[in-house]
Structure 1
Amino acid sequence: MCIIVYKPQGKQLPSTDTLRACWDNNPDGAGIMWPDGNHVNIKKGFMAWPSFLEALEEVTSSIDVASTPMALHFRIATHGAVVPGCCHPFAVKDSLAKMRMTEIGADVGFMHNGTLAGLDTNDATSDSMAFVKAVLVPLKDMSDDFLSDKRALRIIEGSTQGSRFLIMSKTGTVRLFGNWVKDHGILYSNKNFHTRYTYTPTLFDNSIYDAWAAFSNLDESLVRYGLFEACKDCSMLFDCAEYLPICTDALQASEMVASWA
């Protein structure tokens, strides 16, 4: 499970400790994007914490952080190889090669947290990249400003499959899709910005109790709670029960469990 950290205009970035927790919980590579009026600037493919921190410090020393919206992405791979080019963000361009570039300017940039089914993926093409090519690029081509086009926004909202999306334009417009967590003015795509924690179910914690109870009758109850048989071995079970199911089918659930192994 990845995490997106969105710092709106007027806010400062989270503490280094918080960002380190995001990295430790999602260590398959990181990326940064921010607008400057002419481009959305994308830097990504940082596969070690020191290299990410050095890049972030370089970026923040060259811009007015408080007045600039910024988005950071920390990845756990579910589709696509663990390589710099598969890290987020992605330039919304009709070229997989350009999406894989670790430093690029674009009119629009995209970040994704979750999994998307029904797309043409392989080791070099993640579900996020396939979504950009299949959905976002055509929408962008059909509208001068698709982030202000209500028709395009409805299509994107209907395509999330329970994921969280962040789309940023070169002018600083940012659109968020899905359910987000707000903490001290910063928006996170899930609760994975905390140091790794363990839930303790109680009699009053109905959603978690129901998630566990579902396993007593696999045939009838699992689907109702958005769960699959593999979920019982997944580190994200309580997150899904309390917040929002991540996986949409049994294969994705199995892949998610494998990513934590």
Structure 2
Amino acid sequence: MPENDIIKAAYKANPHGCGFISPSTFYKGMSFDSFKRQLKKVSDEEPCIIHFRLATHGSIKRANCHPFNRGDVWFAHNGILSIIPQGDMTDSETAFQNIIYPAIEKFGYGSMQMDRAVSKVIGYSKFAFLQGDKLKMYGEFIKQDDGCYYSNLRFMPYVGWVRNSRHRSYAMGY
């Protein structure tokens, strides 16, 4: 689990909603305080996808926050997809609902057909999926010393830190 200053910085950099999914707990909404309260329920031992939204497609509202789900599959995305969103949906939800999930439903989570559906739309984006405790990530995530994978480190200037981690000192600048 990321440290509190990282979570707060990620929200400041992406203030249009927040959400997460783990095998035991789910939250999505507009309130950072509610997000933090719910996130405390997640064990460090379980996989968890955390998402902070910076709106590009779709209005700023709870329904457009990640993660999205159909059936027992959850999905979060970082980036901009080359597709036309439907109505007020995000590009992420449109791709998941219309392209990716139908492949999962027909051929199964983790199938070659799921991989192909993802490949059709991902471009340079990052996708994370969770079904039960089975996490799948697509795209180039950045693994940090805290054991977490990040889709980008754009939030680091919001930390504004020189801090001492468990094993290293970090100086993060603009």
TM-score above 0.5: yes
Q: Is the 8 A contact 2:18 2:66 kept in 1?
A: yes
Give the percent of matched residue pairs that are identical in Structure 1 and Structure 2. Answer: 30
CA distance in 2, matches of 1:71, 1:152: 19
Of residues 17, 37, 51 in structure 1, which corresponds to 2:34? Answer: 51
| Structure 2 residue corresponding to 1:127, chosen from 86, 91, 111 | 91
Q: How far apart, in 2, do the equivalents of 1:186 and 1:197 lie?
A: 17
Unaligned runs of 5+ residues in structure 1 are 1-12, 94-105, 199-261
- Which secondary structure state, in structure 2, belongs to the residue aligned with residue 112 of structure 1? strand
Contact between 2:5 and 2:159, CA under 8 Å: does it hold in 1? no
Aligned mates of 1:76, 1:66 — CA distance in 2: 26
Q: Is the 8 A contact 1:113 1:164 kept in 2?
A: yes
Distance 1:151 1:195 in 2: 39
Alignment counterpart, residue 111 of structure 1, candidates 76, 86, 102: 76
TM-score, normalising length: structure 2: 0.83
Q: 1:90 aligns with which of 48, 68, 76?
A: 68
2:157 aligned counterpart, secondary structure: coil
Distance across 1 between alignment mates of 2:96 and 2:32: 27
Q: Is the 8 A contact 1:146 1:153 kept in 2?
A: no
| Structure 2 counterpart SS, 1:165 | strand
Alignment-mate amino acid for residue 75 of structure 1: R
1:177 corresponds to which residue? Answer: 138
Uncovered stretches (5+) of structure 2, i.e. residues with no partner = 161-174
TM alignment of 1:14-53, pairs within 5 A: 14-36=2-24, 41-45=25-29, 47-53=30-36
For residue 196 of structure 1, report the CA deviation from its aligned partner. 3.4
**How many residues get paired?**
159
Which structure has more helix as a fraction of its residues? 1
Q: 1:131: how far off? A: 0.7
Larger radius of gyration: 1
Alignment root-mean-square deviation, CA: 1.9
2:103 to 117, 134, 139: 139
Partner of 2:163: none
